[in-house]
């Protein structure tokens, strides 16, 4: 019948515990995969690092590959690069 016995309660507890720890394991595994993907993105974006140069006039930093005149008087960069 539907009586509660110690054996049935132990089996039920083991099933609940197994499901609980199964979800925890899957969750941790998915977090590890996410971290690997994030670190791979960071590593790939580090390949695009450029040197920056400080404008002595306006004290802003600009990438060396696109250095251009800031439009202020005394700017050390060519006015030809200005938009």
> What ranges do the domains of the chain cover?
1-48, 50-83
What does the pLDDT read at residue 42? Answer: 57
What does the pLDDT read at residue 30? Answer: 85
Kindly give, in sequence order, each residue whose CB lies less than 8 Å from that of residue 69, ignoring residues fewer than 6 positions away: 75, 77, 78, 79, 80, 81, 82
Residue ranges of the chain with pLDDT lower than 70?
Answer: 1-2, 34-48, 78-83
What does the pLDDT read at residue 81? Answer: 44
Q: How far is the C-alpha of 15 from the C-alpha of 17, rounded, in Å?
A: 5
């Amino acid at each position: 019948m539907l009586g509660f016995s110690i054996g049935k309660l132990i089996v039920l507890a083991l099933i609940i515990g197994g499901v609980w720890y199964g979800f925890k394991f899957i969750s941790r595994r998915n977090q590890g995969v996410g971290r690997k993907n994030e670190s791979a993105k960071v590593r790939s974006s580090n390949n695009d690092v450029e040197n920056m140069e400080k404008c002595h006039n306006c004290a802003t930093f600009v990438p060396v590959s696109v250095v251009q005149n800031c439009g202020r008087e005394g700017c050390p960069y060519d006015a030809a690069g200005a938009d």
